[in-house]
Amino acid sequence: MVTETANIKVNRPGASKSGEILVDIRGIKKYFPIHKGLLSRVVGQVKAVDDVSLAIRQGETFGLVGESGCGKSTLGRVILRLQGATEGEVVYQGRDIHSLRGQELRKLREEMQIIFQDPFGSLNPRFLVKDIIGEPLRVHRNLTAKQIDERVVELMELVGLDASRRNRYPHEFSGGQRQRIGIARAIALNPKFIVADEAVSALDVSVQSQVINLLMKLQRELGLTFLFIAHGLNVVRHISDRVGVMYLGKLVEVGETETLFAEPLHPYTAALLSAIPKPVPGRKQERIVLQGDVPSPANPPSGCRFHTRCPFAQERCSQVEPQLVEAAPGRQVACHFPLQPGTAMA
């Protein structure tokens, strides 16, 4: 693989702009080995996340979008150290969280939390709701049963649940309510940073809007910073301050939500945006229909990973891998031939 220049190595989206950086992701790689044969020899690697750098600012919502298999969930998990990184570091409050041990790591867990996608799979069906929400308090705080109960009531009211139902099991709640239980659990320890991994994707529209409103309210009231991972672009547009687009393990474009959606620079971003069916009948939109499927991350294409599906690919795209470079203030794109603002395809 040929890299273009070495001097743009430290180019973390967001790092240059004002606003204190809360989580600084530097050159994160996460490879999964592919085992084969009787001796389980490693025959290859799935490059789920391949050299992603990104700075998340205090108090913002950073949206991460991309299609299934692009590595967005893996990145979210590596940022929380739910999985180790193959390479790179995640700096939180001046320290790489992947080097923390023991008490320090335990302390960190209080400050970073996650909300999962599946409101059915992420709650233990044999736990009462008060035990699910109270569990982080029992693990991390030295509280009496009465204090825990008071906090559970407080949390349930905060997320809009009827606290008198805390002695019930998760199956007695609807999907939207369960997602609220998951949110209450995530905020129980007053975290600073929350990764919401497809937190509203499994919900129906009318319930989805309730949960989105709740997340935004909590962010305002508790001063949370969100990494909002989703494939639903209109949800991401609504909730995020900045957005990063991933394709096959790489970050291909980063920018402020408004400008990125209005004037995508990367052809993949443009195609992704044009693919969303809009609830307006009779408007036959110009759509860029990408050919084929996402290639396998075990064997990504040479050069630009998108060149096999890109309508504008040229010779150079299959040979030289484009780096994520600053295209405008606060705007990064990894493309040799970015679209010109104003001449967007759609």
Partner 1 sequence: MAEKLLEIRKLTAGFLTENGVVKATDRISLSIDKGQTVCLVGESGSGKSVTSLAIMRLIDYAGGMVMEGNITFRGQDLTTKKQEEMRHIRGNQVAMIFQDPMSALNPVFTVGEQIAESLRLHQNKNADEAWSMAVDLLRLVGIPAPEIRAKQYPHELSGGMCQRVVIAIALACNPEMLIADEPTTALDVTVQAQILDLLRKLQAELGMSILLITHDMGVAAEMADRVAVMYAGAIVEEGPVEDIFNQPSHPYTVGLLQSIPGFEGERGGELYTIQGTIPPIGQLPSGCRFHPRCPHATEVCRQKEPPEFMIGADHRASCWLYEDKPVHIGDDHSSREEVKPAW
Q: Which of 276, 299, 314, 316 binds partner 1 (CB under 8 A)?
A: 276
Q: Which of residues 173-232 bind partner 1 (CB under 8 A)?
A: 174-177, 204-210, 212-213, 216, 231
Closer of 146 and 278 to partner 1 (Cβ): 278
Would you say 145 or 286 has its CB closer to partner 1?
Answer: 286
Site string for partner 1, 237-266 (x = CB under 8 A): xxx-----------------xx--------
Nearer to partner 1, 52 or 202 (CB): 202
- Which pair of structure tokens corresponds to residue 264? 């995508």
* Using rule CB under 8 A, residue 287 touches partner 1: yes
Segment lying near partner 1 (by CB under 8 A), choices 26-34, 109-117, 147-155, 282-290? 282-290
Shortest distance, position 235 Cβ to partner 1, whole Å:
5
Residue 173 Cα distances to 119, 130, 161, 181, 209, angstroms:
10, 13, 10, 9, 18
Nearer to partner 1, 12 or 307 (CB): 307
State the minimum distance, in angstroms, from the CB of residue 151 to partner 1.
26
Kindly report the number of other CB atoms within 10 A of residue 59's CB atom: 16
- Options 10, 278, 286, 315; binder of partner 1; rule CB under 8 A: 278
Token pair for 186: 């995530």
Question: CB of 269: closest distance to partner 1 in angstroms?
Answer: 11
Nearer to partner 1, 63 or 88 (CB): 63
Contact pattern for partner 1 over residues 19 through 58, marking x by CB under 8 A: ----------------------------------------
Binders of partner 1 in range 67-96 (CB under 8 A): 67-68
What contacts 24+ positions apart, CB below 8 Å, involve 319-325? 319/2, 320/2, 320/4, 321/1, 321/2, 321/3, 321/4, 322/4, 323/3, 323/4, 323/5, 323/8, 323/11, 324/11, 324/13, 324/53, 324/250, 324/251, 324/252, 324/254, 325/8, 325/11
Cβ nearer to partner 1, comparing 18 with 291? 291
Q: Among residues 150 and 162, whose Cβ is nearest to partner 1?
A: 162
Residue 141 or residue 287: which is nearer to partner 1 going by CB? 287
We find the least distance from the C-beta atom of residue 234 to partner 1, in angstroms, to be 5
Q: Which residues bind partner 1 (CB under 8 A)?
A: 67-68, 174-177, 204-210, 212-213, 216, 231, 233-235, 237-239, 257-258, 271-272, 274-282, 287, 289-290, 293-294
